[in-house]
Structure 1
Amino acid sequence: MSLRLYLSSPNISVKCYNAICEAKIEVYKDALYGTKYIDAVRNGEIGEDDPVLVLSVDGAQLYRDKKSDCWIYIWVLLNLSLHKRYKKRYILPGGTIPGKPKNFDSYLYIGLHHLSALQREGLPMWDTLKKKVIDTNPYLALATADGPGLAMLDGTVGHTGALGAPCYYPAHLKPHNYNVAGCDHDSIDVSRPLPPRSIEEYEEKLAFVLASANQTQFELRRKQTGIAKPTIFSGILRRAKITDLFPLDIMHALNLNIPELHHRLMRGTMDCIAPDSKDTWVEWAVFMDNDWWEAHG
């Protein structure tokens, strides 16, 4: 189903989030409660009827016992209320890419070209509440992926680089007796987060990388800045700033990594290294007992 059909359907109740800008927010429970979105509405970047989009990318293995990698990207409509937004019937498929893509931009280009055309020409649609045709202009608020995927979107070096992409398990405390050149800063106080990167700083570092005279200089500057190339999203007219566009998606942490660790701990199947002993786990690893495990389904 197309974007126009989604937002024009009489069965879709589109919540008016612009009212958030005039209200006092007591509980932050939605991405659209953030300052960046509210500022974009207040300064006119996002109009009352404009669809607000999120692009999300992830890789998948189709078969359990067979190498079958593919990549999928989707569009999410932030205009929809929370109880509908993330259900399958309201997700817009973007594309499916067989195998691990060597040049992800070439596959994203088709979808982003379509978005760019809608932004330049507008997207008229029927408003079932106002009973009239309205002119809309899609706005790209976020482009999300996990750590490895994010590097393909934002043009950075990835999570393994010297100045790698964000990760959800950063080390804030400096280890004892640690002295590694270029990575020996003091411990980070989590109560005083580091300031966000400015768009001016990003553009300056990108220009520095692009001005490399040869491959050796490029590799050195890439290491110094953490930037490998311009992002294809810089060609999208209506979007958040590049430095605000690419948040880390922690879907793997909450849906895969943490549940798997809990399962292995509670079942007592995690590796155990001496002097630790699984015999001491019985008080909390209650599902090592198969009868208990089967009794709980």
Structure 2
Amino acid sequence: MYLSLQLASQEAYNHIRRATIRNYAHDDEDSILSFYNVEKLVAQYTGVESIEHDMCPDSCLAFTGPYAALEICPLCDKSRWDQGKLRATNDRSKVAAQKFTTIPLGPQLQAMYRDPDSARHMQYLHEHTQQILAQLRATQSIPVIDDIAAGWDYLAAVLANDIKQDDIVLMVPDCWMYVWIILNLSPDKRYQKVHISFLFVGMHHLAALQKNGLTIWDASRDTVFTSDLHLLFTTADGPGLVYWDGMVGHSGKNGCQGRRKTGGSHYYPALLRPADRCARALHSPSVFLTLAILATFSSDCAAADNPATWDWAVLKDEDTWIAHGEAVEKAGVYLPGSFDRKPRNIAEKLNTSYKTWEFQLYMFGLAPALLYGLLPMKYWQNYCKLVARIPATVPSTCSITAMLLGTRIRAPLLSTQRVSAPFVRPCKGPPICYAQWTMERTIGNLGQEIRQPSQPYANLSQQGVRRYEPPKGLPEGAVDVGDGYVLLRNERAFLRHGQQLPRIRKWARLRLPNGQTARSSWREKLKPLEKTRMSRNVKIKLNNKIQFAEVLYYTQLPVNVAGQNADNSDDDNEWHFENVAVVQMYSMPHKELLKLSLQTLVSCTLLDDILAIDVKNIVSVYRNGPA
């Protein structure tokens, strides 16, 4: 009941508990644990508890360290204590007017290692690092930059034995609310919200762990070791960045190592030295958009620039731009739900509330297809070169924009014309560790979970503890078929009792080892297209070749193995079930288009061929939309 109501209020739990006790437990109060006792049991089981400290009612500072003995905030002169309770008790009861919550990092990490599967996941960074080092020794190069393990600074620390096999590497985006990102996990698990906690003050705790080490029991190896913790990156939003690196805020009077747009009030650090003056002081992530979109802005370009000569500015026509935005929105239904939030109409939302994740999906997922035939071929191919350099899994592994921010950016990408675009606002953190989308997603999750804004700090602490509850088992009715593949519910029997074969069930969904859920046309086509996040198109591996297919449904086909074993030769009712996906095949990709796009755009035709394949031949779910 507690787990089912984790997004509801404490009052809702108490109401359901009282009703259940009154109707089914004969008013036995001890038959169902109270909310307090459940929370206490969870904290005892996981070892994860929240720690509360007093803070200024206006969140100016925390009454810790040198401020621990103060009763008045030195910044705003407000009292530390709840004035209503203070007056009601004649100054005898001093209760903090506001508290902030710290969820210590150490117990969270220890809880992760107590689960064998989670402990094995924590070995990813070491294993991936060893693969990169082996490749580096063999070829003297790193062909694919797909994670932080490929960074020279990180590798140097590993080679110097500063970062060892069992050490834990962390990253912290934003400031007023910490989000610990555990880089030991593989990218497809690193950003799942169960691995993201939120802290208000945790650096002192981290410093203590770095000084003494963290003792951990690894359930997967049944060993105890001491891990050193390394803080690899610290990032922040604009106001928070001032406290991390000491730079001037973007509205500061005197900027650091940058300049202002002519006549403007905001300071911008420079990525490139301006050729003459900036084309436009773009704020991230707009600076990363394809140059076709850049032309839709009202650019105050240098005198030598003539927008009329920009043949790559294909979206400057209003009708074309509106149609392009509608195409982006319509393409969203073909993005699987595992791709997270689908991009909205970019023509309507670009300058207001377009999220970082939407930009990434647009630029590296949709734009190569939507700009084909719209951009002149030489620019389109050059744009595909950029997309091809970014691994297909980048949105879930490392920040695309982190890689771009570390490179020199010129517009357009070809050298036939040149327009400088050198500035980026410091609102998303240092270039090397851009991770704004993580914080955006976390804030969205918290808004859904805490629900009641009257006590946000208390609610945040409880959600933090709940996120580190013991791992849950499989959903009800699910069937684990091994190697990370799980058949999920929404099944239906399509052979009835009384027939010779055993009862056979038809399944609608399959969970893949990478965490994606592959669905089927059997169930997806029951929904209107506009309410669908199409997840039935899958990449499969047959005869060591990658092919594409649409899943019709999943099933377990019975195979009679009677007589195959000498010990059971007299048993005519032995059945073995094969887990299969019934799929409709796509043709092989269009070779010419695949070559022109440098493997970034695949065009296939749905065939009439229907096959039954082993579910373990399914590699992943991919986006597939109409041409």
Confirm or deny: 8 A CA contact 1:156 1:164 kept in the other structure: no
Match of 2:181 among 69, 73, 76: 76
Q: CA deviation at 1:293?
A: 8.8
**Aligned twin of 1:221:** none
Confirm or deny: 8 A CA contact 1:50 1:136 kept in the other structure: yes
CA-to-aligned-CA distance 1:98-130 (integer Å, 9 cap, x gap): xxxxxxxxxxxx411100111112111111232
CA distance in 2, matches of 1:41, 1:122: 18
The residue correspondences of 1:27-176 to structure 2 (distance < 5 A) are 27-57=144-174, 71-95=176-200, 110-159=201-250, 160=252, 161-164=254-257, 170=271, 172-175=273-276
Confirm or deny: 8 A CA contact 1:8 1:128 kept in the other structure: yes
Are the structure 2 counterparts of residues 131 and 279 from structure 1 closer, same or farther at C-alpha, using a change threshold of 3 Å?
closer
Are the structure 2 counterparts of residues 167 and 54 from structure 1 closer, same or farther at C-alpha, using a change threshold of 3 Å?
farther
Confirm or deny: 8 A CA contact 1:147 1:167 kept in the other structure: no
What is the aligned residue count?
A: 186
CA distance in 2, matches of 1:112, 1:3: 15
CA distance in 2, matches of 1:294, 1:141: 37
Q: Letter of the 1:79 partner, please give it.
A: N
Q: CA deviation at 1:279?
A: 9.8
Q: Letter of the 1:94 partner, please give it.
A: L
CA distance in 1, matches of 2:172, 2:191: 13
User: 3-state SS of the aligned residue for 1:151?
Assistant: helix
Are the structure 2 counterparts of residues 130 and 272 from structure 1 closer, same or farther at C-alpha, using a change threshold of 3 Å?
closer
Superposition CA RMSD, Å:
3.9
Confirm or deny: 8 A CA contact 2:168 2:183 kept in the other structure: yes
Q: Letter of the 1:86 partner, please give it.
A: Y
Confirm or deny: 8 A CA contact 1:8 1:127 kept in the other structure: yes
User: 3-state SS of the aligned residue for 1:27?
Assistant: coil
**Aligned twin of 1:253:** 284
The residue correspondences of 1:14-33 to structure 2 (distance < 5 A) are 14=122, 15=124, 16=126, 17-19=128-130, 20-24=132-136, 25-33=142-150
Q: Letter of the 1:286 partner, please give it.
A: A
CA-to-aligned-CA distance 1:42-71 (integer Å, 9 cap, x gap): 11211210110111115xxxxxxxxxxxx3
Q: CA deviation at 1:11?
A: 2.5
CA distance in 1, matches of 2:172, 2:316: 47
CA distance in 2, matches of 1:43, 1:279: 53
CA-to-aligned-CA distance 1:200-221 (integer Å, 9 cap, x gap): xxxxxxxxxxxxxxxxxxxxxx
**Aligned twin of 2:556:** none
CA distance in 2, matches of 1:35, 1:80: 19
The residue correspondences of 1:205-216 to structure 2 (distance < 5 A) are none
Confirm or deny: 8 A CA contact 1:21 1:42 kept in the other structure: no
Q: Letter of the 1:115 partner, please give it.
A: L
Structure 1: runs of 5+ lacking an equivalent:
59-70, 96-109, 179-251
Higher RCO (C-alpha under 8 Å, 6+ residues apart): 1
**Aligned twin of 1:283:** 320
User: 3-state SS of the aligned residue for 2:208?
Assistant: helix
Q: Letter of the 1:72 partner, please give it.
A: M
CA distance in 2, matches of 1:129, 1:163: 49
CA distance in 1, matches of 2:194, 2:166: 21
Are the structure 2 counterparts of residues 171 and 272 from structure 1 closer, same or farther at C-alpha, using a change threshold of 3 Å?
closer
Structure 2: runs of 5+ lacking an equivalent:
1-47, 49-107, 137-141, 259-266, 301-307, 309-314, 332-529, 531-627
Q: Letter of the 1:154 partner, please give it.
A: D
User: 3-state SS of the aligned residue for 2:276?
Assistant: coil
CA distance in 1, matches of 2:187, 2:115: 17
